[in-house]
Structure 1
Amino acid sequence: MTNGSPRTDTSTDGDTDDRAPGFNNGQMAVSDASERSRDQKTLRRLAQNREAARKSRLRKKAYVQQLESSRMQLTQLEQELQRARQQGKYISSSGDAQSISANGALAFDVEYARWLEEHTRRANELRGAVSAHAGDAELRIIVDGLLTHYDDIYRIKSEAAKADVFHILSGMWKTPAERCFLWLGGFRSSELLKMLISKLEPLTEQQLLAITNLQQSSQQAEDALSQGMEALQQSLADTLAGSQTPINSPGNVANYMGQMAMAMGKLGTLENFIRQADNLRQQTFQQLHRILTTRQSARALIAVNDYSSRLRALSSLWLARPRE
């Protein structure tokens, strides 16, 4: 019995030693799996960070290229303006009306290029604030600044129309695709509101009703201005048609001069039509801003800027298309 007891103890110790390595190996396997899981999560997070950084660099590069393109266009316009000054095309003591008109249009093009560059900067600032979920107070400051910036272009256009109303009316200061939708030197407020309704959802019933009423009243005002413009064109055509006898006949010189004076008087109302159309656009923006919340107004302004940017991009693609 004395000899059997140590053997029993030795056998027990041996069994314990045999189990220990397997138990330790299991712990190590679990630890390795956990470590690999953490490594995979870390790798995925690093890959996501690299992708986000890459996209950020691409966005920044595209924005810098856009600013550089705008700067080059502005520089080119300023150089043309400087050459015009050197060539003496500005208003001279002789009062050359054609020179006044040409340089008024050129000066407006330079001012518009500056305005558009600043507008793009403000719109991008607003987009960044919305993406970063900025507070209403911060958004309100940016939105109000952008609306005030819109007021600037109406003032600039009003001054330019005094020098060359046909330049503003024809929209030659805009890209071809923008001119396709031009109405009296700008956009139709009613069409813009139709586009914005789908971009601003969800809207309350009260907001939707107010925007619908605003769209209808804008449409009625546009129709009235369009009818007035058509009546002016018809009246101008009738005046210019006048007598069919030769102009250089002695008896018709005075009649001809009278007809041209009447036509000049009718053309003077074109400036008023452009002013009324811009007032309608300005009031529509202001009323829409009062209907919407600050965040909705921000989204509306971003949508309008995106729409205009796409029209300009469409023009660039159209002009650069391959031709057979």
Structure 2
Amino acid sequence: MADVSAMTDTSTDVDTDDKNLRYLNSLTLGATSDASDKTRDQKTLRRLSQNREAARKSRLRKKAYVQQLESSRMKLTQLEQELQRARQQGIYVSSSGDQSQAMSGNGALAFDVEYARWLEEHNRRTNELRGAVSSHAGDGELRIIVDGILAHYDELFKIKADAAKADVFHILSGMWKTPAERCFLWLGGFRSSELLKLLINQLEPLTDQQSLAINNLQQSSQLAEDALSQGIESLQQSLAETLAGSLGPSGSSGNVANYMGQMAMAMGKLGTLEGFILQADNLRQRMLQQMHRILTTRQSARALLAIGDYFARLRALSSLWLARPRE
């Protein structure tokens, strides 16, 4: 009986050990499962946090972009209000096509408003042309729209010529353009030769005669641009030398007279800047006209659309740059 009792106790101990082992295993598995769940939860939380942060930055960028657009709109409204006051005070501004008078006083402001209106009308005409091309309009309808856009470019050159008489430095600096456009500014506008290079791929297929004519136009434009650039460099050097000639001790009547003489010479040389602006715009105007004569009506439509899209992308790039988040 003692032996049986001993065996019974041993059996009970073994069963208890097995139960304890299974219990410990279950705890271990449970702990492992909990740790895995916690790891997954941490990854999920981290991913959600990253998504929230990305969404927050996106909202900030969107808000900044909207604010920049609103600021531009308010600035344009303010310019129009100031222009209206300028009109009431008798300062020249023309919107009827008679722009033979020189702008004075707020000439730069008047030009900025006129250019904003020109650009708005240009965008409308470009969209009209795009719709006509997309709907496969006939050559007659396309010719009317294309001729209208070219005439509208002529109007811009007239506005700039009047503005150059009032404030040639404003036109030369390109402050009426967006920052990205100013990166490619040359004498108050675009380089005809560079624009033709960008257009060649957009105009294919071209006949051999058209290709030769476009290449000749590009080369002649390049030569004319180089000549104008050299003229501007010579003017700058001559102007610097003239101003440097009046440096020195002041006080005597002779030095004062010399100073006044040198400044008068400098003023005379500055007067030639207007001529450079006019020559550059004449070059741009001739390029558009000759390009139109070389191409067919439909090719001219595609070229004008490509030009419009190029400058629209530069303006859009400027808006994105100004609205970028600054962290």
TM-score interval, smaller chain: 0.7 to 0.9
State the shift of 1:79 in Å: 1.4
Pairing 1:152–2:160 present: no
> CA, structure 1 residues 181+295, in 2 after alignment: closer, same or farther (shift >3 Å)?
same
What is the aligned counterpart of 2:228 among 216, 225, 228?
A: 225
Distance 1:103 1:184 in 2: 22
Moved over 3 A (4+): 67-74, 82-86, 88-91
Q: What is the rounded CA distance, in whole Å, between the counterparts of 1:120 and 1:274 in structure 2?
A: 24
Match of 2:199 in 1: 196
In structure 2, how many angstroms separate the alpha carbons of the residues matched to 1:76 and 1:318? 23
Partner of 2:131: 128
Match of 2:109 among 100, 106, 112: 106
What is the aligned partner in structure 2 of residue 288 from structure 1?
A: 291
Counterpart secondary structure, 1:134 = coil
Secondary structure in 2 aligned to 1:322?
Answer: coil
SS of equivalent to 1:289: helix
Residue pair 1:194, 1:215 contacting (<8 A) in 2 also: yes
Q: Tell me how far apart the structure 1 counterparts of residues 246 and 167 of structure 2 sit (CA, whole Å).
A: 29
Q: Does 1:212 align with 2:225?
A: no
Secondary structure class of the residue paired with 2:126: helix
Letter in 2 for 1:272: G
Q: How does 1:3-18 map to 2 (within 5 A)?
A: none
Residues 221 and 140 of structure 1: CA distance in aligned 2, closer, same or farther (over 3 Å): same
Which amino acid is the alignment partner of residue 288 of structure 2? Answer: F
**In structure 1, distance between residues paired with 2:219 and 2:155:** 26
Q: What letter corresponds to residue 242 of structure 2 in structure 1?
A: T
For residues 314 and 73 of structure 2, the distance between their equivalents in structure 1, rounded to whole angstroms, comes to: 19
Equivalent position of 1:17 in the other structure: none
Give the Cα–Cα distance (whole angstroms) in 2 for the partners of residues 70 and 300 of structure 1.
29
Alpha-carbon distance between aligned partners in 2 of 1:191 and 1:144, rounded to the nearest angstrom: 23
CA deviation map 1:186-217 (0-9, x unaligned): 00000000000000111111111110010000
Q: What SS does the aligned partner of 2:106 have?
A: helix
Give me the whole-angstrom Cα distance separating, in 1, the residues matched to 2:209 and 2:70.
44
Task: Sort the Cα spacing of 1:234 and 1:220 in 2 relative to 1 into closer, same or farther, 3 A.
Answer: same
Instruction: Measure how far apart 1:244 and its partner are.
Output: 3.5
Counterpart of 2:143 in structure 1 is: 140
Pair 1:273-2:308 in alignment: no
Is the contact between residue 70 and residue 113 of structure 1 (CA under 8 Å) also seen in structure 2? no
**Where do 5+ consecutive residues of structure 1 fail to align?**
1-66, 92-99
Distance in 1 (CA, whole Å) between partners of 2:133 and 2:269 is 48
| Bigger Cα displacement from structure 2, 143-152 vs 102-111 | 102-111
The answer as to 2:187 corresponding to 1:184 is: yes
1: CA distance, partners of 2:181 / 2:224: 22
Aligned partners of 1:181, 1:101: CA distance in 2, in Å?
Answer: 28
Q: Which moved more, 1:202-211 or 1:272-281?
A: 202-211
Q: Does 1:75 align with 2:67?
A: no
Match of 2:175 among 172, 197, 213: 172
After TM superposition, the score normalised by the length of structure 2 is 0.72
Give the number of equivalent residue pairs: 249
Please report how far the alpha carbon of residue 77 of structure 1 lies from its aligned counterpart in structure 2 after TM superposition: 1.7
1:310 equivalent to 2:313? Answer yes
Task: Give 1:310's aligned amino acid.
Answer: R
8 Å CA contact 1:81, 1:106 repeated in 2: yes
Aligned partner of 2:83: which letter? L
* Higher RCO (Cα < 8 Å, 6 or more apart): 2
Query: What CA RMSD, in Å, does the superposition of the two structures yield over aligned residues?
Result: 2.2
